[in-house]
Amino acid sequence: MSYLIFCLAILQKYDIIIGVSVYNCQYGSLTKREIWAPLFITILFLALSLILHKLCNSTMWQDHDMWDYRLKVHVDAYPFGIRHFTSFPILLMRDYFGWPVRETFFALQFSLGLCLGLGFYYYLRALNFNKTWSNVGLVLLLTAYPIMGAHFEPVFTWDDFWAYLFSVIAFTFIIRRRFIYAGLFFLLGCLAREQTIFLFPAYALGVFFYSGDIKWYKKIIYMFSPLLLWGAYYVNVAKVGDPNRFKYLTLNFKSFEWARDNVFSWFISFGFMWLISTMAWFRLADHKKNRRASLVFWGFILAVPVNTVFTFWMTLARETRIFFPPFIFVIPLALVLLIPFFKYFSTYYSTMQKISTSTLFAMICLGSYFLIANIVFPEFMYRQGPDYCQIWAAVNLTAAFFIFAYYLLSRKFRSLYGEFENEWCK
């Protein structure tokens, strides 16, 4: 309970910084009353994540000696030792209050998850999605495997939630044209996880899009100061790391079993959103875009390929969380296609016969893809909750095929998509 109170206090502070009225748009301003729906959704899905971790016997339930050792590794070993946002508070709570490492870690993680959920909702509202679809986007975030299964092996989430939260706040401040705060939180994101630096091109371009008539030298300061400050810190603390860092591509595909598990790791990071966000991106490519659409469009193409190549080339790709930082562009693009898809179904599939036909089609697809998932991924070399992973893969393959099929076959769906695209981009 004390952590929930602390978290709510942080959110109140965040309210002061972000502002109860993040923006003024056709949907109106955010109100304090509006916070209750995303708060409930976030708590609900974090509770489901906790239950899932219990059912699958994740690292959350390892003994205290193992957790003491894990903390020691993150304090002493490089590069974990240069990231302090998670290790330092846990050390503080253990040494001064006698709190056990395991319980302290997960209290901190779920508090961060609560802040991340509400922060991401604010971010989607700032991108001009209405309340309903901002909540849908929040659900997409919280059900993503790197969040829902954050503490399954081999995900090993530690400082990642800090990086996610700081990135969301930074890009929200860009949209609000508060570039000093944006730079500060982007810098904090890079300090939490060095991988955040791969979002820098999108950050710099976002500042450029929103800075307007600001003098050119101020633009340069706003754009490059986080990079320079982080670079100065990193050069000061960097040590000789893994000599095989640039050989992970060979390791990740050294055998069929390794390749299969790592491709699955890539797919499970976003699931069906990989397909629909890419479809939305190609549709937006030939479209005249406003600043927020340009931010998401260019952020996607600048961040996703670089982050994906980095993950396969320089890390163990089985750690699914490493694919996840571009979620701040993938999920909004996924919503751009999901909104007209559901509008299409609510408009043209309102009769019981059509609903029954679509449900039957979906169930056939789900059964087929569950069979495919079991054939293609009969077992995993190194992954907890294999049954959940296979079910999750089947559901996401079904969703991807279902949406893609209707997009190809229905001219009305494509027409509705064009109408929403014009509305969101104007």
**Using one digit for the tens of pLDDT, what is the confidence trace for 255-296?**
888 888 899 999 999 999 999 999 999 988 888 888 999 999
Tell me how far apart the alpha carbons of residues 38 and 117 are, in angstroms, rounded to a whole number: 7
Q: Burial of 424 by CB count in 10 Å (0-12 exposed, 13-18 middle, 19+ buried)?
A: buried
Mean pLDDT of the chain: 84
Residue 44 Cα to chain centre, angstroms: 18
Residue 400 Cα to chain centre, angstroms: 18
Tell me how far apart the alpha carbons of residues 263 and 274 are, in angstroms, rounded to a whole number: 13
DSSP state of 378: S
pLDDT digits (tens, 9 = 90+) for 302-316: 999 999 999 999 888
- pLDDT tier for residue 240 given thresholds of 50, 70 and 90: low
> Looking at residues 47-59, what average pLDDT do you find?
87
Whether 175 is covered by a domain: the verdict is no
What angle, rounded to 10 degrees, do the helices at 87-97 and 101-126 form?
Answer: 140
pTM of the complete model: 0.89
Tell me how far apart the alpha carbons of residues 364 and 358 are, in angstroms, rounded to a whole number: 10
**Residues 278 and 272 sit within 8 Å (Cβ to Cβ):** no
Residue 122 Cα to chain centre, angstroms: 14
- Helix (H) / strand (E) element for 141: namely helix 131-143
> Looking at residues 348-368, what average pLDDT do you find?
66
Residue 340 structural domain: 249-426
Whether 15 is covered by a domain: the verdict is no
pLDDT greater than 50 at residue 86 = yes
CB atoms within 10 A of CB 358: 14
pLDDT greater than 80 at residue 95 = yes
Whether 42 is covered by a domain: the verdict is no
Whether 381 is covered by a domain: the verdict is yes
pLDDT greater than 50 at residue 186 = yes
Q: Which is more confidently placed, 22 or 274?
A: 274
- CA max distance for the chain: 67
Q: Burial of 43 by CB count in 10 Å (0-12 exposed, 13-18 middle, 19+ buried)?
A: middle
Predicted local confidence at residue 25, as pLDDT: 39
Predicted local confidence at residue 78, as pLDDT: 83
Q: Which is more confidently placed, 372 or 196?
A: 196
- pLDDT tier for residue 3 given thresholds of 50, 70 and 90: very low
Residue 336, sorted as left (phi over 0), alpha (psi -120 to 50) or beta, turns out to be alpha
> Looking at residues 10-39, what average pLDDT do you find?
55
> Looking at residues 171-183, what average pLDDT do you find?
95
Rounded to 5°, angle at Cα 403 from 370 and 131: 110
Give the phi and the psi of residue 100 in degrees, each rounded to 5.
-65, 145
Whether 196 is covered by a domain: the verdict is no
Predicted local confidence at residue 402, as pLDDT: 82
Tell me how far apart the alpha carbons of residues 257 and 323 are, in angstroms, rounded to a whole number: 20
CB atoms within 10 A of CB 409: 9
E-only strand ranges, 284-361: none
pLDDT greater than 90 at residue 189 = yes
> Looking at residues 384-399, what average pLDDT do you find?
82
Whether 54 is covered by a domain: the verdict is no
> Looking at residues 397-421, what average pLDDT do you find?
82
Whether 22 is covered by a domain: the verdict is no
Which of 39-48, 193-202, 344-353, 411-420 is the least confident region? 344-353
Whether 115 is covered by a domain: the verdict is no
Dihedral angle computed from the Cα positions of residues 418, 419, 420 and 421, in that order, rounded to the nearest 10 degrees: 40
How many structural domains compose the chain?
A: 1
pLDDT greater than 50 at residue 6 = no
Mean pLDDT comparison of 140-154, 348-362, 409-423, highest-scoring range: 140-154
